[in-house]
Amino acid sequence: MKEIVIATNNQGKLKELKEILAEYELLTLNDVNCKIEVEEDQETFEGNSKKKAKEISKVTGKPAIADDSGLCIEAFQGWPGVYTARFLGEKASQEERNQAILEKMKNLKGKQRKAKVVCVITYCENGKCILAKGEIEGKIAIEPRGENGFGFDSIFELDNGKTYAQLSEREKNTMSHRKRAIENLKKQLTSQ
């Protein structure tokens, strides 16, 4: 079974990736005793994803997968985008970030609440990188709903009226932005 290092310390992401990429032996940064933290300082999801995967692969000497994802709100020209996890600063909790988004959108109705979630995944091996993207359309809910998931899952509402956090892990992993990006990546890896 091929070993791939997953360049994240986010347990929610790791759990999701392990379920979707079950045919690979996925190693955490801790598994390979890698203590570096790659700074996400690029202007795009692609830039952050590629930077992380390249650096982790170089340091560990193994293939690496990294992703960058975020929430893009149409009414705010794609904000918070690459800053989804950091727009209130590094110390803010996800609940604080979600509340800030809801507060900023409190007067927006219907189509004004349109948003999408984007995920770019990069696979790097021996300095060569493959990028894959996945996204899903939806809107920002009026209030948080659901207990599952992580990040902005409780405020991102799908066309079926449920938030990501109201879906089971299995349901989410059959159609999420990350699932779409991983499937795109798998197609590219198997066509080589």
Residue numbers annotated as active site: 68
Phi and psi, residue 176, nearest 5°:
-70, 165
Which are the contacts of 158, defined by CB distance < 8 A and separation ≥ 6? Answer: 136, 138, 164
Instruction: Identify which of 1, 3, 6 has the alpha carbon closest to the alpha carbon of residue 122.
Output: 6
Pair of tokens at residue 19: 């379920």
List strand residue ranges (DSSP E) for 7-164, in order: 25-27, 64-73, 79-80, 114-125, 128-140, 156-157
Q: How far apart are CA 55 and CA 61, in angstroms?
A: 10
